[in-house]
Amino acid sequence: MPATESALPPDASSMLALAARSMFHLFSSMSQGMFLVDKAGTIVWVNEGYRRFLPALGFSSIDEFQGHPVEEVIPNTQMRRVLETGEPILVDLLTNKAGTFVVSRIPLREEDGQTIGAIGIVLFDQPETTLKPLIEKFALLQRDLDDARRELASQRSRALLHGDGGSGQRRAKYTFASFIGTSAAALEVKRHARRAAQSSSPVLLLGETGTGKELLAHAIHLASARARGPFVSLNIAAVPDTLLEAEFFGVAPGAYTGADRRGREGKFKLADGGTLFLDEIGDMPAALQAKLLRALQEGEIEPLGSNRLVPFDARVIAATSRDLPALVRQGRFREDLYYRLNVLPLKLPPLRERRGDIPALVEALSEDLAQRSGEVPPELMPDALALLAGQHWRGNIRELRNVLEQLAMRSDSQRVDAAEVRRVLAETGVEAIAAAALPPAPEGQGHAALLRPLATQVAELEGLAIAAAMAETGGNKLAAARLLGISRATLYGRLQGAT
Ligand SMILES: Nc1ncnc2c1ncn2[C@@H]1O[C@H](COP(=O)(O)OP(=O)(O)OP(=O)(O)O)[C@@H](O)[C@H]1O
């Protein structure tokens, strides 16, 4: 015991001992389970609560568990580290065949400070349910972090490639080839986007979050006559309203004191000769909507603090995941601006309406993730792929990518099965839908579903057949091609997208 505690008067010492005992009992009864290991790492005591995890760990009696070295009976445990370092691990996530748990590991020390054992506490089991709000928030933050990391990594590689020390951030990075998908819906959207690239009118990209609006904006720019010019993007939702006008139109020299004294170019000017991508246009404040409309109509902008109109030459691509016509009806988005932007509307289909593209997306996203991490991508077993294909995917491709990233990080083995996918889906806040619930066709039902263009239905069926064959063969393309009676090259072609 440390000196301060041993110097306590006898009654305080006994109170301390009582407090320690009470705490122990409290944790033992309030937690989901608790056990003790001795100095050698052998399990010496297990409380009632913990015993209910034994079947899931593969034990039918306590004797198979108690008296055994901790790592032999609890896969992935870190108790040995606590014994070796004498340091507690106050909160940690432990995942093994019994599930995922929020755990705490505390060393037991002798009076002279020597570690003589450790307590393992399961604070929460099934954290995916009990800690759902927290996990959802974490998943959201993780998503933003992943996006930022990716952006940084590609800026770095572009800077290396172009030797431009980072000015490449105004270059577009995706082409139509980056847009994976051969379903009828994906091909249709690419066809319209290619046509939009040939025009100089504004484009309006509509679709749920993560459906690839930004990717397509890059691709349209790179396929347009402005490809050599800059690609500048502005996420309207991410900039405080008070700063938006300056972001859009810039600030004239002398308009402000301090850091902005010398003036600053706005995004319209930075995009000169290129494309200006306005993301989340539905979130634009009303006052600025009027100014944007004027700029688009006149082809001129007025930097803040100047009374000069400056011409600009940027092609505008706007995007939103919100229901813009509804915002117009509610008077929250100007109708005249809507029509000004809605010259070439493109609707991006959600992932659940093009499930046939999921195997190809899994393949491409896993490959990309593996290249970034330098590790071999794990192989998804047929049941795992089928489970992924059946999900609702509220966050669409971004969400799918995040789940694949988590799977790659968390799976110990090279092969990932449905149980592992289910666990990661729950942990990342994706509502898991059983594989069997996979609808046979993406749109409509019964008779009505058949009354659509034949080419669309054939392409959907083809996508589903490829998904099924890939799932059946565990992603083995040669075997999948054989099952479908097509050549491997044809299958590759379908998986990589007809770009
Ligand atoms: N068809 C696709 N093929 C491959 N990757 C895709 C595809 N569509 C989207 N992605 C990837 O998914 C992620 C999200 O895409 P993107 O940012 O373009 O979506 P978004 O619709 O603009 O989303 P938000 O509305 O939330 O801004 C990106 O990493 C992008 O590269």
Cβ of 28 less than 6 Å from ligand 1: no
Residue 289: per-residue pLDDT: 96
Q: Which of 107, 125, 143 is the last residue of a domain?
A: 125
Instruction: Tell me the pTM.
Output: 0.60
Both tokens of 176, joined, read 């139509």
d(CA 371, CA 150): 12
Domain extent for 422: 353-496
H or E stretch covering 124:
strand 115-125
Please report the sign of the dihedral spanned by the C-alpha atoms of residue 233, residue 236, residue 241, residue 245.
positive
Cβ of 218 less than 6 Å from ligand 1: no
Residue 257 alpha carbon to ligand 1 centre in Å: 40
Cβ of 342 less than 6 Å from ligand 1: no
Residue 149 alpha carbon to ligand 1 centre in Å: 15
Cβ of 397 less than 6 Å from ligand 1: yes
Based on the fold, state whether residues 337 and 376 are members of the same structural domain: no
Indicate whether 106 belongs to any domain: yes
Choose the residue to mutate in 397, 399, 401, 495 for probing ligand 1, maximizing ligand atoms within 8 Å of C-beta: 397
CA of 217, closest atom in ligand 1: 18
Cβ of 289 less than 6 Å from ligand 1: no
Cβ of 279 less than 6 Å from ligand 1: yes
Residue 448: per-residue pLDDT: 59
Indicate whether 17 belongs to any domain: no
Based on the fold, state whether residues 77 and 103 are members of the same structural domain: yes
Residue 264: per-residue pLDDT: 84
Indicate whether 300 belongs to any domain: yes
Both tokens of 133, joined, read 């709000």
Based on the fold, state whether residues 264 and 117 are members of the same structural domain: no
Residue 397 alpha carbon to ligand 1 centre in Å: 6
Residue 323 alpha carbon to ligand 1 centre in Å: 18
Indicate whether 6 belongs to any domain: no
Based on the fold, state whether residues 426 and 459 are members of the same structural domain: yes
Cβ of 394 less than 6 Å from ligand 1: no
CATH classification at residue 252 = 3.40.50.300
Cβ of 214 less than 6 Å from ligand 1: yes
Based on the fold, state whether residues 231 and 292 are members of the same structural domain: yes
ipTM: 0.98
Cβ of 181 less than 6 Å from ligand 1: yes
Q: What one-character-per-residue DSSP string does 396-448 give?
A: HHHHHHHHHHHHHHH-SSSEE-HHHHHHHHHHTT-----GGG--SSSS--HHH
Based on the fold, state whether residues 471 and 329 are members of the same structural domain: no
Residue 385 alpha carbon to ligand 1 centre in Å: 20
CA of 181, closest atom in ligand 1: 1
Cβ of 398 less than 6 Å from ligand 1: yes
d(CA 371, CA 144): 20
- Amino acid identity, position 349: P
Which parts of 46-125 fold into alpha helices (H)? 48-51, 54-57, 70-73, 79-85
Based on the fold, state whether residues 437 and 425 are members of the same structural domain: yes
Q: Which of 125, 154, 188 is the last residue of a domain?
A: 125
Based on the fold, state whether residues 217 and 343 are members of the same structural domain: yes
Per the listing, tokens 């399961």 go with 122
- Amino acid identity, position 169: Q
Cβ of 496 less than 6 Å from ligand 1: no
Domain count of the chain?
Answer: 3
Output the tens digit of pLDDT for each of the chain's 499 residues.
444 455 667 777 788 888 888 888 888 888 999 999 999 999 999 999 999 999 999 999 999 999 999 999 999 999 999 999 999 999 888 888 888 888 999 999 998 889 999 999 999 887 767 676 666 666 667 666 766 776 666 655 555 444 443 333 577 889 999 999 988 899 999 999 999 999 999 999 999 999 999 999 999 999 999 999 999 999 998 888 888 999 999 988 876 666 556 778 899 999 999 999 999 999 999 999 999 999 999 999 999 888 889 999 999 999 999 999 999 999 999 999 999 999 999 999 999 889 889 989 999 999 988 888 888 888 888 888 888 988 888 889 999 999 999 898 887 778 888 888 988 888 877 766 655 444 444 444 445 566 666 766 677 677 777 777 776 776 777 888 888 888 777 877 777 653 3
Nearest CA residue ID for atom 26, ligand 1 = 209
Based on the fold, state whether residues 373 and 465 are members of the same structural domain: yes
d(CA 365, CA 353): 19
Cβ of 180 less than 6 Å from ligand 1: yes
Cβ of 390 less than 6 Å from ligand 1: no
CA of 174, closest atom in ligand 1: 31
Cβ of 213 less than 6 Å from ligand 1: yes
Cβ of 211 less than 6 Å from ligand 1: yes
Residue 106 alpha carbon to ligand 1 centre in Å: 43
Cβ of 182 less than 6 Å from ligand 1: no
CATH classification at residue 400 = 1.10.8.60
CATH classification at residue 104 = 3.30.450.20
Nearest CA residue ID for atom 15, ligand 1 = 212
Tell how strand 275-279 and strand 315-320 pair up: parallel
